[in-house]
Amino acid sequence: MSPATPGTGKGAATAVTGKGTGKGAGKGAGKGATTAARRSPLLDVDGMIDDPQLRVVVCCGAGGVGKTTTAAALALRAAERGRRVVVLTIDPARRLAQSMGLVELDNTPRPVAGVDLSGGGRLDAMMLDMKRTFDEVIEAHASPAKAQAIFTNPFYQAMSSSFAGTQEYMAMEKLGQLRARADADAADGWDLIVVDTPPSRSALDFLDAPQRLGSFLDGRLIRILSAPAKAGGRAYLKVVSVAVGGATGVLTRLLGAQILRDVQSFVGALDTVFGGFRERAEQTYRLLQAEGTAFLVVAAPAPDALREASFFVERLAGEGMPLAGLVLNRVTTARAESLSAERAQAAAEDLEELGAQELTEGLLRVHADRMRRRERERGLTHRFTGAHPAVPMVEVPARAEDVHDLDGLREIGASLAKG
Amino acid sequence: MPTHDPDDRSEAEPRDGDPADPGDSGEPGEPAAADFAEVRLHIVSGKGGTGKTTVAAALALALAAGGRRTLLAEVEGRQGIAQLFDVPQLPYEERRIAVAPGGGDVFALSVEPKAALLEYLDLFYHLGRAGRVLERMGAVDFATTIAPGLRDVLLTGKVYEAVRRRSAEGPRYDAVVMDAPPTGRIGRFLNVNEEVVGLAKVGPIRNQAGSIMTLLRSAQTAVHLVTVLEEMPVQETQDAAAELRAAGLRVGGVVVNMVRDPVLPPQTLADARTGRIDREEVLAGLAAAGFDGRRQSPASAVLADGLLAEAGEHAARVALEDGQREQLDVLQRPVYELPALAGGVDLGALYDLADLLTRQGLA
C-alpha cells in the first residue's frame, strides 16, 4: 500500500495531463475562453468518456454540490455515445433514483430504461447498500458457519448498518467488485464504471478508508484482540487478564467485559475475512492510481465547496491519482451579459426617480442581482483557478429546478460536454 | 416571550405515531411560538452547502447577547468556525472568539476525537500512563479513526461534558451550540450512543452513552435544521426530521437560509412566469433609462429580450421557492428566515444574522 504523501498543491498540473485519460483531459485547452473569467483549460468531457482507455470515473467533492447528478449525467451521456456503463450511486435524491429505476435496493446493477442504445452502449445503475455489501464480503470469505457467527454478532450488526465510516469502506469494496466483474467479461461486460462518493465528513475520507483498514490490520491491537478468541472457549477471559496483561486489562475496564467479549469474538471470527478484505482494499487503492481511472472533482461556486475542491486536487496529486478536472455546478449565468450590475442598478435608480417605469425598473434590479451574484461566484472561482491554473474545468449553469428524469440528465450531460 | 418551551414532545417516552398525521412528520396543533429558552444544547444540522456553520455561529452569538456565555463547537474537524470568524485554526481548547452584543462571550472549540479520548481516559480513569499504553498498541487510532462510530461517541461525549460542566456560579456555559454533521448523517451521529447502549449491556461505556442519550432526548436539547429553498435540501430536511423524531430526538426550528429578495411584485412575477410581460413597455422603460438603442450599447431590443428571459427564470425560481416553503410548513416547526448576503459572510454579517435570529425568536 502506498504511503500517504501529503499533497503539495504544486504537483497538480503535471498529474492532470501526465496520467490516465490520455487524450481526454486538457485537450480542449485554448478553446475554453468563452467567458472572461475562465483562465483554466476547458475540460473536454466527450473526449474523456469516448476514450476507450478510460475505465473508471470517480466523482468526488463536498456535500451538496451535485455529485450524484453529475455522475448520473456523465454515465448516461457515455452510454448514449456507445460505452457500456455502470453507475454506482450512493444516496441519490428520491425522484432522480426513481427516474433511473433505482427503486429496488438489492445492491445489484439494473438496466436503466429509456436510454438510447443505438450507439451500441448500455447503462446499468445501482445504489449502494452498505450492509448488504458488507454481508457479501463476509459470505465470500468465510465458511457458512463462520459467516453465520459473524452475522449474529451484535457488534457486527451495529457496525455494518449504522456507524459512520462503513460507507466509505463499502463504496470502495463495491467499486472493486464492479471492476472485477467488468474485467471478467471484457467482451460484453461494462467498459466504464462511474462512481459517486459518499457524503463524508470530508470528501477525502473514502480515499483514506482502504489505508486505514490496512494499518489497522497491521497493528498490534488486532493481534491482542484476536489472540484470546483464538485460544477458544471461555478460557479467553483468563488469557485476557493474565497473558496480555495491562493493555487488555485497560480495555476491559473501559469497555466492560461483555462488550470486549463481543468485539473479540467479532474480530476472531473476521480473522479469515480480514485477509481478503485487506487484499481487496489494496487492489482498489491501486486501481484508483492506475491508468484508466479519472477523478472528477465536483464543486459549486461557494467558498466551502471550492476550498474542499482545492484540498482534493492537492491530495490527489500527492497520491499520484489521475485528476481529469473540475466540474463547477450551479453557475449563475446571465441573459443580458453586456449590461453590468452597476449600470443596471444605476438605470433602475434613475427609473425609480422618474417613478413611471416600474416594470423595467424591477427587471433591471433582477438583472443587477444576478450579475452581482455572478461576479461574486467568479471571484470565488478565480481563487481556485489561480491556485490550480492547469486543472481543466467545465461550468454547468444553474437550473431553476432539480433534475428528475433522463431528459434533465441529458441536458446536464450536454452542458458538461459543451462547457 | 413565553417563559417555557411549548414543545414537550422530546421527553423520554416517545409517543406512538400521531394518528391525526397524514404523513410521518409534524405534530398537530403545535403553535409556532419560537422560544427555546430552556434549551441548553442547540444542535445545528443541514444539508451540505446550506450554511449550517454560519447559522450555528450566528445562533451562538445571539444566545450570548446580554452578558451570557456560549460555546460554539464543531465536530467535523473542518475548521469552519475559524474561517468564519477569521481567526487562526482552533486547537483542542476552548477559546473566546467573539464578544456578543451587550457584552457576552462566545467561546469556540474544534472537538478532535483523539484528544477527546485521551482527555476522557485521564478525566474518568486517571489513565495517564495506561492511555499511552493504549496509544502504543494502536487502540487510540483504532477508536478514533478505524472503529466506525466510536469517534462519534467521543465527539458527542465531549459536547455533553461541556453542557454539563459547572463553575462556582453555575453552569460554565449558558448554552452550547454544536455545528453538527449534515442532515444525511445527523440521525446516525446523534443516535450512536443508543447503539452503544445496545452493544454494551453493562459497564462504564454504557453509563456514559446512556447519560448522553438522556441529555440529547431531554427538553434541554433541540436539533435545528438549516435549509435553502431548493428541492433536495428541503427533502433532506423532511427526511432528517422524520428520522430524528423516530429516534426520540426533538426537532427545534427550521432555519431557511440564503433567502433571496423576490424583487418583483406578485403580478409581474405571474406575468413573467407565463411569458406575458409587455415587451413594448420594457422597451419604453429602457428608453426612459437612456438605453435608446443607438448611442448606448447593448442594443435595447437585445437587452429587453435578455431581461425578459431573466425575469422568466427568476419567476420560476420564486414559484419553486414558494412550493418549498409549503413543504417546510408540513413539518409544523417554527421557521426562521435569513437573507442571502451578496457580499458573502464576514464577521459583520454574522452579527446581522444573529440579530435577525433574535428578532425572530430563535434565540
Residue B117 belongs to domain with CATH number: 3.40.50.300
Distance CA B76, CA B90 (A): 12
* pTM greater than the 0.90 cutoff: no
Looking at the structure, tell me whether residues B301 and B179 fall in a common domain.
no
Looking at the structure, tell me whether residues B236 and B174 fall in a common domain.
yes
Alpha helices in A116-204 (DSSP H): 130-141, 144-152, 154-161, 166-184
Looking at the structure, tell me whether residues B233 and B283 fall in a common domain.
no
B271 domain-assigned = yes
Q: Do B138 and A155 touch (CB under 8 A)?
A: no
Q: Do A363 and B282 touch (CB under 8 A)?
A: yes
Q: pLDDT tens, B316-358?
A: 999 999 999 999 999 999 999 999 887 778 889 999 999 999 9
| B114 in contact with A, Cβ within 8 Å | no
Collect all residues with Cβ–Cβ distance below 8 Å to A96 and sequence separation of at least 6: A68, A69, A72, A402, A403, A404
Grid-cell match 449590461, residue found? A339
Q: pLDDT tens, A68-100?
A: 999 999 999 999 999 999 999 887 777 778 778
Looking at the structure, tell me whether residues B145 and B272 fall in a common domain.
no
Grid-cell match 449600470, residue found? A343
B325 domain-assigned = no
The whole-number average pLDDT for the span B10-39 is: 46
B288 domain-assigned = yes
Looking at the structure, tell me whether residues B254 and B278 fall in a common domain.
no
- A353 CB-side CA count, 13 A: 7
Provide the 10 A C-beta neighbour count for residue B143.
22
With cut-offs at 50, 70 and 90, classify the pLDDT of residue B360: very high
- Pairing type for strands B95-100 and B104-110 reads antiparallel
Counting the structural domains of chain B, the total is 2
Q: pLDDT tens, B89-117?
A: 998 999 999 999 889 999 999 998 888 88
Separation in Å, CA A13 to CA A305, A329, B160: 20, 22, 45
Q: Which residues pair with A43 in a beta bridge?
A: none
Looking at the structure, tell me whether residues B199 and B309 fall in a common domain.
no
Give yes or no for a contact between A159 and B149, defined as CB atoms under 8 angstroms apart.
Answer: yes
Angle at B33 between CA B32 and CA B36, to 5 degrees: 115
With cut-offs at 50, 70 and 90, classify the pLDDT of residue A168: confident
B191 domain-assigned = yes
| B299 in contact with A, Cβ within 8 Å | no
B23 domain-assigned = no
Give burial (CB, 10 Å; 0-12/13-18/19+) of B81: buried
Q: Quick check: ipTM above 0.95? A: no
Q: Do A402 and B204 touch (CB under 8 A)?
A: no
Looking at the structure, tell me whether residues B301 and B355 fall in a common domain.
no
Find the range with the poorest average confidence among A261-265, B147-151, B266-270.
B147-151
State the smallest CA–CA distance between residue B323 and chain A in angstroms. 12
Nearest to A197 by CA among A89, A95, A291: A89
- B249 CB-side CA count, 13 A: 30
Looking at the structure, tell me whether residues B251 and B287 fall in a common domain.
no
- Pairing type for strands A110-111 and A122-127 reads antiparallel
| A22 in contact with B, Cβ within 8 Å | no
Angle, helices B52-64/B347-360, rounded to nearest 10 degrees: 70
Looking at the structure, tell me whether residues B236 and B177 fall in a common domain.
yes
B200 domain-assigned = yes
Which domain, by its residues, includes B302? 266-313
Q: pLDDT tens, A184-211?
A: 998 889 999 999 987 665 556 667 766 6
Grid-cell match 466551502, residue found? A304
Looking at the structure, tell me whether residues B271 and B208 fall in a common domain.
no
B32 domain-assigned = no
Distance CA A19, CA A21 (A): 6
Looking at the structure, tell me whether residues B221 and B151 fall in a common domain.
yes
CB contacts of A215 in chain B (<8 Å) are 141, 146
For the cut 90, the answer to whether the pLDDT of residue A300 exceeds it is yes
Looking at the structure, tell me whether residues B151 and B183 fall in a common domain.
yes
Grid-cell match 473476521, residue found? A270
Distance CA B363, CA B354 (A): 8
B113 domain-assigned = yes
Give burial (CB, 10 Å; 0-12/13-18/19+) of B29: exposed
Pairs of residues, one from chain A and one from chain B, whose beta carbons lie less than 8 Å apart: 239
